[in-house]
């Protein structure tokens, strides 16, 4: 059985490493963040991801899953090397490939026999070729010549349900021009293959594009319903019913038709602007996605402005913020709408009492420039107590079961901004709230 290295032990790398070891493979997870690797060796999981901890624990116990900062050893020992490092946006929107390129160079420096390099990071079309060139350049400098195959295997897992998504993906995309590498990948993913998960075999470029085209489409779908929601609000229509009516059409599907304060996270914002950048670079602008990016920025601002519009001058107002993560069941706040909205209301003079079940520590450094205006609370009721209004930004389950009577009693003013459309307007108004949703 092939030994596997996963380089980059973040949301994708750790779930991939843990998942593959649970499939029975022998996996070494590599990261250049010493603290992260030390923590993992001590059984501390650096991210909040439901269901991940027992899998890591179980496979560490059976020694199928190990952690190291020593990429040299991992490359030497493993036949298959996954690249799962970050590809953050640069100033012009294009994906920054410096981490991927560094790993490619490290592989070239340390390769000692045939290897299959599997790129799981989301990378612009053409990156597989670049990775191969970088590896071969290093081999040439060393005066050695080992064969190498580069496979593009984009990841579609969602934070919050990452373990499930990894084990039960809708499809596995394998981009490669090598039959030998494809056969090895089928063995790596043997469990998924046996479980009748659809496998798509393509060339590298197609696999790389499938990831961007999928993410940009989903971002566009969210943005579409957000814009329809804004219009519904003006026209007296209810976007919840509109979305339901649309979703019944199987060509549309009800997924990703929930209006909210704009999409965030580590993927949609960066992947949409990377696709826009690719379109411009090659002379075929993806105008729908250009507009999606603009409309999403606008949506976040519109939500912040809505608070001001409803409550008037925010100077001296105290606002309870429920939810900081970009979505429930994760601690990730990368590009979260909460960042834009908090910055806006604080600039307008408000103070914030915030609570999120998983991202309080992350918030403290991500919002360090406005931390003096934020009190981090122990739960939602402490945040709500004596506040002038409450704003739900993330649809954590616990915010779906608020003790509404208690909320009403604790609030100084009954303003309730439900930017995830959890509650019914009429019910909330009957409790005496001044309720604002999205598109209702």
The residues that are catalytic are 267
* 398 in a known ligand binding site: no
Spatial distance between the Cα atoms of 116 and 172, rounded to a whole number of angstroms: 17
User: Which position's Cβ is nearest ligand NAD?
Assistant: 10
Q: Which two tokens stand for residue 212?
A: 């961007």
Binding mask 246-285 for ligand NAD (x = CB under 6 A): --------------------xx------------------
Give counts: helices (H), strands (E), the chain: 19, 14
Q: Does 437 bind ligand NAD (CB under 6 A)?
A: no
69 is in an annotated binding site: no
Non-local CB neighbours of 282 within 8 Å, separated by 6+ positions: none
Question: Strands 115-119 and 148-152: what pairing?
Answer: parallel
The reply, when asked if residue 171 is annotated as ligand binding, is: no
Residue from the set 22, 149, 155, 208 that interacts with ligand NAD by CB under 6 A: 155
Closer CB to ligand NAD, residue 122 or residue 292?
Answer: 122
Residues 6+ apart with CB under 8 A from 314: 307, 308, 345, 348, 349, 350
Question: For residue 63, how many other CB atoms are within 10 A of its CB?
Answer: 9
Q: Is 257 annotated as a binding residue?
A: yes
Q: Which of 19, 86, 269, 439 binds ligand NAD (CB under 6 A)?
A: 86
| Lookup: tokens for 433 | 């709230």
Q: Which residues, 20 to 39, sit near ligand NAD by CB under 6 A? A: 30-33, 36
Burial class (CB in 10 A: 0-12, 13-18, 19+), 90: middle
Q: Does 214 bind ligand NAD (CB under 6 A)?
A: no
215-239: buried (b, 16+ CB within 10 Å) or exposed (e) per residue?
A: bbebbbbbbbbbbbbbebbeeeebb
Residue 180 Cβ, how far from ligand NAD at the closest point, in Å? 25
**Cβ contact 127:120 at 8 Å:** no
Applying CB under 6 A, the span of 98-106, 178-186, 356-364, 385-393 interacting with ligand NAD comes to 98-106
Backbone angles phi, psi at 413, to 5 degrees: -125, 145
Counting contacts by CB under 6 A, is residue 223 touching ligand NAD? no
Can you tell me the distance from the alpha carbon of 212 to that of 242, in angstroms, rounded to the nearest whole number? 28
Minimum distance of ligand NAD from residue 15's CB (angstroms)? 8
Q: How many residues bind ligand NAD (CB under 6 A)?
A: 26
The answer on whether 36 is annotated among ligand-binding residues is yes
| Per CB under 6 A, 159 contacts ligand NAD | yes
| E-state strands within 96-223 | 115-119, 148-152, 172-175, 199-202
Is residue 103 near ligand NAD by the rule CB under 6 A? yes
Cβ distance 375 to 318 under 8 Å?
no
Residue 12 in contact with ligand NAD, rule: CB under 6 A: yes
For the record, the structure tokens of 102 come out as 């560094």
20 or 30: CB nearest ligand NAD: 30
129 carries a ligand binding annotation: no
264 marked among binding-site residues: yes
**Closest approach of ligand NAD to the CB of residue 417, in Å:** 27
For the sheet with 65-68, list strands across it.
65-68, 26-30, 3-7, 80-83, 115-119, 148-152, 172-175, 199-202
Nearest approach in angstroms of CB 160 to ligand NAD is 9
- Our finding on whether 84 is near ligand NAD (CB under 6 A) is yes
Candidate list 4, 5, 6, 9; residue touching ligand NAD; CB under 6 A: 9
Give the annotated binding-site residues for substrate: 156-159, 211, 256-260, 264, 327
- The annotation places the binding site for NAD(+) at 31, 36, 87, 122, 159, 270, 334
Contacts with ligand NAD by CB under 6 A lie at: 7-13, 30-33, 36, 84-87, 99, 102-103, 121-122, 155, 157, 159, 266-267
């Amino acid at each position: 059985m092939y030994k596997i290295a996963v380089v980059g032990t973040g949301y994708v790398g750790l779930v991939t490493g843990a998942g593959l070891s649970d499939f029975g493979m022998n996996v070494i997870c590599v990261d250049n963040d010493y603290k992260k690797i030390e923590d993992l060796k001590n059984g501390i999981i650096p991210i909040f991801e439901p269901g991940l901890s027992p899998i890591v624990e179980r496979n560490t116990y059976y020694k199928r899953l190990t952690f190291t900062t020593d990429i040299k050893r991992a490359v030497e020992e493993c036949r298959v090397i996954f690249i799962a490092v970050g590809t953050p946006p640069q100033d012009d929107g294009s994906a920054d490939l410096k981490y991927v390129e560094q790993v490619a160079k490290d592989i070239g420096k340390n390769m000692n026999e045939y290897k299959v390099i599997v790129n799981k990071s989301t990378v612009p079309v053409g990156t597989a070729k670049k990775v191969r060139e970088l590896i071969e350049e290093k081999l040439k400098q060393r005066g050695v010549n080992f064969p190498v195959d580069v496979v593009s295997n984009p990841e579609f897992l969602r934070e919050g349900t990452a373990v499930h998504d990894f084990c039960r993906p809708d499809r596995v995309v394998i981009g490669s021009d090598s039959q030998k590498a494809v056969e090895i990948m089928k063995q790596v993913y043997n469990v998924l293959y046996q479980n009748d998960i659809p496998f798509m075999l393509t060339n590298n470029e197609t696999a790389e594009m499938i990831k961007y085209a999928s993410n940009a489409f989903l971002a566009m779908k969210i943005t579409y319903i957000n814009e329809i929601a804004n219009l519904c609000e003006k026209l007296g229509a209810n976007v919840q019913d509109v979305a339901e009516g649309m979703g019944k059409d199987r060509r549309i599907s009800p997924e990703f038709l929930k209006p909210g304060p704009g999409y965030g996270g580590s993927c949609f914002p960066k992947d949409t602007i990377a696709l826009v950048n690719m379109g411009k670079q090659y002379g075929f602008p993806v105008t729908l996605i250009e507009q999606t990016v603009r409309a999403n920025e606008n949506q976040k601002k519109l939500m912040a402005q809505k608070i001001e519009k409803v409550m008037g001058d925010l100077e001296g107002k105290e606002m309870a913020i429920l939810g900081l993560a970009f979505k429930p069941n994760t601690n990730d706040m990368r590009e979260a709408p909460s960042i834009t909205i908090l910055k806006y209301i604080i600039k307008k003079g408000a103070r914030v009492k915030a609570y999120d079940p998983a991202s309080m520590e992350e918030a403290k450094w991500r919002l360090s420039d406005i931390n003096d205006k934020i009190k981090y609370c122990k739960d939602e009721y402490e945040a709500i107590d004596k506040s002038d209004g409450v704003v739900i930004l993330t649809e954590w389950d616990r915010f779906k079961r608020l003790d509404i009577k208690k909320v009403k009693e604790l609030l100084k003013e009954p303003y309730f901004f439900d930017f995830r459309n959890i509650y019914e307007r009429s019910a909330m108004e009957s409790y005496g709230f001044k309720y604002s949703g999205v598109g209702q």
